[in-house]
Amino acid sequence: MTGSEQSIQLSATAGDRQTVRKKPELLAPAKDPEVLRTAVRYGADAVYIGGEAYSLRAKARNFSREEMADSIDWAHENGACVYVTANIYAHESDLEGAEAYFRELREMRPDALLISDPGMFLLARQYCPEIPVHISTQANNTNHMTFRFWYDQGVRRVVCARELSLAEISRIRREIPEDCEIEAFVHGSMCISYSGRCLLSSYLAGRDANRGACAHPCRWQYALVEETRPGLYLPVEENDRGTYIMNGGDLCMLGHVPELMEAGIDCFKIEGRMKNALYVAQTVGAYRRAIDLCTGGDLEGYRRELPALEQQLRRCTWRKFTTGFYFGRPGREEMVYDSNSYTEGAVWMGIVEEPHVTDAGVTFKLKQRNKFSVGERLTALLQGGGEIDLEIAGIRDAEGTAMESAPHPGQLVEVTAGVPAGREGLLRRGDILRRDATGDLTV
């Protein structure tokens, strides 16, 4: 197994069966080196990233060649794996550049390549045969014979199609070799199209989703038009904000970690290569804690902490949560076809650098991401778990000039903050600072 080799024994939630499985790997997304470091600091066993071409998130920040090489080295030094996505469906014009790209990846030595196109698979085998290949969800991996096909090609991990139920995954687990790993999405945005293979973007925006340029037309608002009455729009009523008939909710399986483990899933994958460091820290931290409790055999502790962990998932941007297809074909309400807007449970303020204890509490440097002011109360999400409330006592710019607020995104500032007594030394480099939203986050 690529991640932890720890064997665990888990009590089934229904009945008295005991299932012994390896501790599942927690796999996080990263759009840039900053987010990669955040993912590892908050507990990801592995991170998947994309280069400047050949992955399905062309609009993400992504990694330059130098950033990718440095990030792979940093992750390895910190005990984490890095998987590089090359999961487009390539056209003829893509192939020559892909050959050069795989030659570069051979030198950088990521821990695996994520691929869906058989042509790209053959190129990867030819130009970097030492690097394992994981088969992407884009390849529509829906049955055990597909898993066995890829296993016979030398592949040792296949990512489930998101249309699979837990019962189907359990069946696949029984029918495939023990050393063929199953990876599955457990959290993040859901796509309306079959395993993400969508044509809407190509037709409506001229941007090929299967080559990484999706315009996300499933999030747009639609109405019906009768053929003989052009210009007369007939809404399909859902709510007072509009009709979003293809806009699914966000997958969230945090409340079903024992069932995921019992089904034999080897890697829990979080979606979100367009997301910022706050989202990744909140999500990775919550799933890290849940996995650790369950693999440690503390199912009672897992159930006790679950409400707080679910609340943590809402301290970032999120849509209404759904369990997707895991428990069978969902109905309309389960998939939550709703407004295309996110709920913003918290605002990212920045990442703590160079913290040290002072007479006033704690002082640290911060590359500001959103405006905050002296007197505000912010929250630091700690890498080892837990949070600290901070009251901003002072802000200075790079020249040491005192300011009442930090209004400019990207501005480097020095912050002095008061903290609860006895917690001054808990703040660490890399901790995420946020401002929590007010109002109900339980919907």
- CATH number, position 88: 3.20.20.70
State the pLDDT confidence band at 2, using cuts at 50, 70 and 90: very low
Q: Which of 139-143, 188-192, 220-224 has the highest mean pLDDT?
A: 139-143
> Model-level pTM?
0.84
Residues 294 and 161 in one domain: yes
Per-residue pLDDT, 443: 47
Residues 307 and 350 in one domain: no
| C-alpha to C-alpha distance for 69 and 77, rounded to whole angstroms | 13
Residues 127 and 184 in one domain: yes
The answer on pLDDT for 309 being more than 60 is yes
Secondary element (H or E) of residue 268: strand 267-270
Domain final position from 343, 364, 379: 343
| Boundaries of domain holding 396 | 346-436
Per residue in 115-146, pLDDT (tens digit) is: 999 999 999 999 999 999 999 998 999 999 99
Q: 3-state DSSP call for residue 309?
A: helix
Judge contact between 184 and 267, C-beta under 8 A.
yes
Residues 61 and 94 in one domain: yes
Count structural domains, the chain: 2
Per-residue pLDDT, 325: 87
Per residue in 82-118, pLDDT (tens digit) is: 999 998 888 898 888 899 999 999 999 999 999 999 9
The answer on pLDDT for 402 being more than 90 is yes
Per-residue pLDDT, 203: 57
Domain final position from 343, 362, 377: 343
- Closest C-alpha to 441, from 340, 257, 313: 313
Residues 119 and 31 in one domain: yes
Domain final position from 343, 376, 411: 343
The answer on pLDDT for 222 being more than 80 is no
Judge contact between 4 and 246, C-beta under 8 A.
no
The answer as to whether 241 is a domain residue is no
Half-sphere exposure (CA, 13 Å, Cβ side) for 5? 2
State the pLDDT confidence band at 202, using cuts at 50, 70 and 90: low
The answer as to whether 219 is a domain residue is no
Per-residue pLDDT, 20: 46
Mean pLDDT calculated for residue range 360-370 = 93
Per residue in 9-40, pLDDT (tens digit) is: 554 443 334 444 579 999 999 999 999 999 99
Per residue in 36-71, pLDDT (tens digit) is: 999 999 999 999 999 877 765 555 567 999 999 999
State the pLDDT confidence band at 329, using cuts at 50, 70 and 90: confident
Residues 321 and 382 in one domain: no
Per residue in 286-299, pLDDT (tens digit) is: 999 999 999 999 99
Please give the structure tokens belonging to residue 280. 């990744």
Q: For residue 82, what are the β-bridge partners? A: 47
Residues 21 and 117 in one domain: yes
Per-residue pLDDT, 15: 35
Residues 304 and 366 in one domain: no
Mean pLDDT calculated for residue range 321-338 = 69
Residues 332 and 370 in one domain: no
Residues 265 and 148 in one domain: yes
